[in-house]
Structure 1
Amino acid sequence: MHTDDQIPFRATSENVGATVVVRVAGELDCSTAEELSLLLNGAVLAADPPAPVVVDLTGLAFLGARGIGLLLDHQDMCLRRGSELVVVANTAAVLRPLRVLELTDVLSVRPGVPEFAPPEVSGLG
């Protein structure tokens, strides 16, 4: 359950050519991790290697330990399939824990969604 000042968790995916882009907003913690895990499982299987799976975390207000674990698990899944997990992060809420754990070099972290992934259109959805 969330309070008025929390952003509700939301995760969506879309295919952009051979790439799958997963966009995540809200708080990613133990209470929301299972929903994202299922979505990422599908994204990894839907991507056409060597095309990456892009996980856009720019809408996250909180990234907990379980969320970080999911990113690492799904990066391994991508690598086993000959693909890559690209993490898009440009906020302190996401970058701080990744830096503290020295994961910005382990995960492929970028400040913006790569060109092949069109930006989300405001007002839709």
Structure 2
Amino acid sequence: MRHQPAPPTRFLRVRQDRGHTVLDFRGEIDIVAEVEVVPHLDAATSDPKCRVVIDLTRVEFLDASGLRLLYRARQRVLEQHGSLHLVCTDALTLRVLRITGLARLLPPRPTLDAALDQPEATPGPV
């Protein structure tokens, strides 16, 4: 099922690119953002074989709520036998992803093109 692009929110823009749903996270991804982002994230990860890219290049801050969103996306994509790729270049966010182990489960790509050009694969095991 193909979803219509969601209207942009303060924290998220959803669009289609090369057969993937791209979730552009923006600003501070915290508990306030989580409430706004979850419905869009769930819509993007609800179809069988969904192909999703989460782009964190416009994120200024990511706390535990943001990490929960990434883990939620990963779990939902696994359940749908889809693919999920992450784009991140910020040194602090990359460090948080490494420390928490999410970088192992969702290896960050340096650019959107690098993520979109990745072979289809499901996120790694827990």
**What TM-score comes out, normalization by structure 1 length?**
0.76
Where structure 2 has 5 or more consecutive residues not aligned to the other structure, the ranges are 1-8, 117-126
**Which of the two has greater helix per residue?**
2
What does residue 123 of structure 2 align with?
none
Return closer, same or farther for 1:93/1:61 CA change in 2, 3 Å cut-off: farther
Tell me which amino acid in the other structure corresponds to 1:63: L
User: Per-residue deviation at 1:52?
Assistant: 2.2
What does residue 27 of structure 2 align with?
26
**What CA distance in whole angstroms lies between the structure 2 residues aligned with 1:97 and 1:116?**
20
Please tell me the root mean square deviation across aligned C-alpha atoms, in Å. 2.1
Tell me which amino acid in the other structure corresponds to 1:107: L
- For 1:64-95, what per-residue CA distance to the aligned partner results, in whole angstroms no more than 9, with x for missing partners? 00110111111011011111221110002321
Where structure 1 has 5 or more consecutive residues not aligned to the other structure, the ranges are 1-7, 118-125
Poorly superposed stretches of 4+, deviation over 4 Å: none
User: Per-residue deviation at 1:115?
Assistant: 5.6
1:12-51 → structure 2 map (5 Å cutoff)? 12-45=13-46, 49=49
User: Per-residue deviation at 1:44?
Assistant: 1.1
- For 1:40-83, what per-residue CA distance to the aligned partner results, in whole angstroms no more than 9, with x for missing partners? 1111125x62x520000000000100110111111011011111
What does residue 120 of structure 1 align with?
none
Aligned length: 108
Between 1:80-89 and 1:10-19, the stretch displaced more is: 10-19
Instruction: Establish whether residue 86 from structure 1 lines up as the match of residue 90 from structure 2.
Output: no
Tell me which amino acid in the other structure corresponds to 1:43: A
User: Per-residue deviation at 1:116?
Assistant: 7.9
Tell me which amino acid in the other structure corresponds to 2:44: A
Return closer, same or farther for 1:69/1:57 CA change in 2, 3 Å cut-off: same
Tell me which amino acid in the other structure corresponds to 1:111: P
DSSP-derived class of the 1:93 partner = helix
Return closer, same or farther for 1:52/1:114 CA change in 2, 3 Å cut-off: farther
Tell me which amino acid in the other structure corresponds to 2:12: A
Higher gyration radius (CA): 1
